Amino acid sequence: MEQRSTLDTLIPLARQARYLGRYRQIVQVLTKQGFGYLLSQLGLYRLLALPYRTIRNDQSSALSAAARLRLAMVELGPTFIKMGQVLSTRPDLLSAEFIGELSKLQSTVPPFPTEQAVAVIEQELGRPPAAIYEHFDVEPIAAASIGQVYRAYLPGGRKVAVKVQRPEIANVITTDLAIISDLAALAQQSNLFGPQYDLVELAREFSTSMRDELDYQREAMNTDQMQRNFRTNPLVRIPEVFWGYSSSRVLTIEWIDGIKINDLAALDAAGIDRRALARHSLEIVIEQIYIHGFFHGDPHPGNIFALPQDRIGAIDFGQVGAIDRTTRRQIVLLMLALVNNNPDGTVRALVGLNVLDRHAVTDALRRDVVRFMQRYVGRPLQELSVSAISTDLIDLLHRHKLRLPSPVALLLKSLITMEGTAKLLYPDMDLFAVARPMLQRVAGELLGPQQLANDALLYGQELGDVLIGLPRQMDRLLYQAGQGDLLIRTHEEELRRVASALSAAASKLALAIVLLGLLVALGLLSIAYTVGAWHGLAPLVLAAVGGVAIFVVGFLLLVTLIRGNGR
């Protein structure tokens, strides 16, 4: 009944002409790739009034489910390709097979006509490119699912890259995000993928990320923020944003001439020291994470360039991650606990990172944490890798049905990507040796006496605010309770279970107390009669009444127990 009511609330949305066609297209593609049984469980065939013969799956393909999911996302277009790319960063949610397949997804698509790009620039900036730029190349140099990039020159000869959003792509993505949110709600309601996955929250996070990528002004702000963070670091070059030539759909940034960091032949031909480049690339990502708490969310080799003097250039900050000081501290505490072979400290750090619920830490989990640590304790740093440690950590999370918070998952992906790039440049590169000096510095800042004193003062202020507001809150609660307006919200199913358990327990307890009282009273009467302290008919009458009472109460207790067990 609950699932049907949820479906009924979606019917008006599905009947809208602008969504119905896309819904049907999604169903057809997923069914063709063999996922019709999932759609049937969600009730989409009834919702969209589709004949059940469309549930027939294409069984002729010998491809794995992971490969077929990748093909379906490619066919469904930019939003689903992006979703697959995001899911490929979540090994805590998907198996290694699915992660491997979804990692192959690329956003590269055929370019759209330059005439349309010119129209977008004129609409956004008020003038055609010829009136804005000193020169504007009509051939795009790169095309992706959301936009494409042109080379241009500003008045005065400054070389720039102009990123132009695809026409109508915002409407396409908005429609797809609405449908994805509906499907997530249906899957959550039907418990299709298990209770450990908060699909609605995952869909919300993905929608937020996609809307941020659609807004080029946000990407421009991210680029400016990254440039400010590294303004004193001579090893890093972040492009300048030209705000007068940018908008929400057009982004003009400084052109960076460099060599893609994974083009080993070109690096060697240019005489670049690959070992120094590898070290610098790791130092930069560690600084982003531990010093600034603001990091590149997609540092793949296409976005990272080698520049003269072993410098690093980075572009494309549409996807970034941010972690607060508390999260950074917990990451440092986690690494210190691992280094010091401290299982309890490791568990506390995982609780602090919201990977674990402190009330759900079991003995089995502690044992697995100890085994996890024993694999790495005492091993030389050069034999360790973020990728191997992450794989074992993800296995532990899968075993205990845990998941990483999105910022931590994105952080892990960035570390793994940069470690892979560094080892491609210099296979003997030791990430932990590079990270150790910076981690010692960060640990001193985040865990030092001054910071702990500042944190204690902050927590004291928060506690003071709570205590100051407590009398007013209590007065309001008591008033609402007195007026009968106090509302306590909880999950209905859980409330019924708890109420039933409490009611049964209270009944049993009450009957047990009454029975115990009668037994004690009869015992006292028996003792008094035996020692001669009480004679006559009265004790016999009381004994008879007590016996009947014991029989009645015992019968009621038996009935209660039987009914409780039946339920």
Give phi and psi for 308, each to the nearest 5: -55, 155
Residue type at position 364: A
How far, in Å, CA of 124 to CA of 118, rounded? Answer: 10
The residues near 120 (Cβ < 8 Å, ≥ 6 apart) are: 164, 165, 167, 249, 250
Contact status, residue 350 vs residue 368, Cβ threshold 8 Å: no
pLDDT tens sequence across 59-88 = 446 788 899 999 999 889 889 988 888 888
Confidence grade of residue 351 (pLDDT, cut at 50, 70, 90): confident
pLDDT at 125 over 90: yes
Quote the pLDDT of residue 433: 74
Contact status, residue 314 vs residue 238, Cβ threshold 8 Å: yes
How far, in Å, CA of 417 to CA of 421, rounded? Answer: 6
pLDDT at 542 over 90: no
Of 241 and 345, more confident: 241
- According to DSSP, the residues that pair with 446 across neighbouring strands are none
Contact status, residue 396 vs residue 372, Cβ threshold 8 Å: yes
Collapse the DSSP code of 161 into the 3-class scheme (helix H, G, I; strand E, B; otherwise coil) and give the result. strand
Q: Which CATH architecture has domain 108-171+205-255?
A: 2-Layer Sandwich (3.30)
pLDDT at 517 over 80: no
User: What average pLDDT does range 224-246 have in this prediction?
Assistant: 94
Quote the pLDDT of residue 460: 57
How far, in Å, CA of 287 to CA of 438, rounded? Answer: 8
Contact status, residue 73 vs residue 87, Cβ threshold 8 Å: no
How far, in Å, CA of 228 to CA of 226, rounded? Answer: 5
pLDDT at 191 over 80: no
The residues near 501 (Cβ < 8 Å, ≥ 6 apart) are: none
Burial 171-180 (b: 16+ CB within 10 A, else e): ebbbbbbbbb
pLDDT tens sequence across 420-457 = 888 888 887 777 777 777 766 766 665 555 555 555 55
Collapse the DSSP code of 151 into the 3-class scheme (helix H, G, I; strand E, B; otherwise coil) and give the result. strand
3-state helix, strand, coil in the chain (%, to 5): 65, 5, 25
The angle, 0 to 180 degrees and rounded to 10, between the axes of the packed helices 17-32 and 65-76 is 150
User: What average pLDDT does range 182-210 have in this prediction?
Assistant: 80
Contact status, residue 542 vs residue 518, Cβ threshold 8 Å: no
How far, in Å, CA of 178 to CA of 186, rounded? Answer: 13
CA triple 198-200-201, angle to 5 deg = 70
Matching residue, tokens 């300048």: 240
Percent of the chain scored above 90 by pLDDT? 22
Q: What is the pTM of this model?
A: 0.70
Quote the pLDDT of residue 7: 46
Largest interatomic CA distance in the chain: 123
Of 317 and 491, more confident: 317
pLDDT tens sequence across 453-473 = 555 555 555 555 666 666 777
CA triple 213-218-222, angle to 5 deg = 105
pLDDT tens sequence across 250-267 = 999 999 989 998 899 999
Is residue 475 annotated as a catalytic residue, yes or no? no
Give phi and psi for 254, each to the nearest 5: -60, 140
User: What average pLDDT does range 217-244 have in this prediction?
Assistant: 94
How much is the mean pLDDT over the chain? Answer: 77
User: What average pLDDT does range 273-295 have in this prediction?
Assistant: 88
Quote the pLDDT of residue 92: 72
- Pick from 138, 126, 64: which is nearest to 101 by CA? 64
Quote the pLDDT of residue 281: 87
Domain ranges of the chain: 2-105+172-204, 108-171+205-255, 259-447, 505-566
pLDDT at 55 over 60: no
- According to DSSP, the residues that pair with 313 across neighbouring strands are 237, 305
Quote the pLDDT of residue 11: 45
Of the ranges 268-272, 402-406, 549-553, which is most confident?
268-272
Q: DSSP character for 261?
A: T
User: Which residue among the candidates 298, 324, 368, 428 is catalytic per the annotation?
Assistant: 298
